[in-house]
Amino acid sequence: MKTVFVQPERCVGCKQCEIACAVEHSQSKNLYQAVFEKPKPRPRVHVGPGVYLNSSFPNKCRHCDPAPCMAVCPTAAISRTSNQEIVLIDGNKCISCAMCALVCPFDVIRYYESTEALQDKVVALKCDHCVERQEKGLEPACVEVCKVDALLFGEINQLTKMASTKLARVVSVAAASASIETAAMPENLEAWRSWGRKISELNDR
């Protein structure tokens, strides 16, 4: 099974993944046209802050199996693709009851207008694992654009094997049971990280 694997210790919070995601899910698939589109294209990956000054975390749907969101959707708007790998929301069926957002343990569902829904109606939006790109053999847009390898795409077993820190265990559903080997972080990233921690510590005093 293929998945997007997150290495949060590498994320520098540049939000390029958010932009790439919004553009990928726009009608024109072009940044300069996308900004003028209606409804406004929205990212389905969300880079949120951490506790430390410069820590951040790109958060997106884990395509859980079984998926809690799917179990509670009262309109069956949430389904799994036939290869079982991707959990999708059909905006046309969604009634914005927010039950899925209430039970998603990773907090990845947001409500916005969508081309799939009736005009002026907000519906549940989340990562679709770039299902269209994958069909063409491409990796998800967020992965493609990430400059520091905070987002990796590949076979879940291989990725968990090379997972670099303890941290990875926390953020990937299926990775919890995998063995963790340590791989070195690039020096510049390491320095960036420790700078943030120091500043945070100073602020706390």
Ligand X SMILES: Cc1cc2nc3c(=O)[nH]c(=O)nc-3n(C[C@H](O)[C@H](O)[C@H](O)COP(=O)(O)OP(=O)(O)OC[C@H]3O[C@@H](n4cnc5c(N)ncnc54)[C@H](O)[C@@H]3O)c2cc1C
**Residues engaged in binding other proteins (CB under 8 A):** 8, 46, 48-52, 55-57, 59, 71-72, 74-76, 93, 95-99, 101-107, 109-111, 118, 166-167, 170-171
Q: Which among 6, 27, 28, 9 is positioned nearest to 17, based on CA atoms?
A: 6
* Complex with ligand X: residue 49 or 105, whichever CB lies closer: 105
Choose among other proteins, ligand SF4, ligand X, none what residue 78 binds, the Cβ cut-off being 5 to 8 Å by kind: ligand SF4
Q: Which among 120, 143, 125 is positioned nearest to 133, based on CA atoms?
A: 143
Other CB atoms closer than 10 Å to residue 82's CB: what's the count?
Answer: 7
Q: How far is the CB of 101 from ligand SF4 (least distance, A)?
A: 7
Q: How far is the CB of 28 from other proteins (least distance, A)?
A: 28
Q: What is the DSSP letter of 22?
A: H
75-114: which residues touch ligand X (CB under 6 A)?
97, 99
Q: Which among 127, 177, 176 is positioned nearest to 153, based on CA atoms?
A: 127
Q: How far is the CB of 91 from ligand X (least distance, A)?
A: 17
Q: Which two tokens stand for residue 161?
A: 């094997």
Interface residues with ligand SF4 (CB under 6 A)?
61-64, 67-69, 72-73, 75, 77-78, 87, 89, 94-100, 104, 106, 108-109, 124, 126
Q: What is the DSSP string of 57-92?
A: EEE-----SS-HHHHH-TT--EEE-TTS--EEE-TT
Q: How far is the CB of 125 from ligand X (least distance, A)?
A: 19
Choose among ligand SF4, other proteins, ligand X, none what residue 53 binds, the Cβ cut-off being 5 to 8 Å by kind: none
Q: What is the DSSP letter of 199?
A: H
Alpha carbons within 13 angstroms on the beta-carbon side of residue 67 total 25
Contacting residues toward ligand X, per CB under 6 A: 74, 97, 99
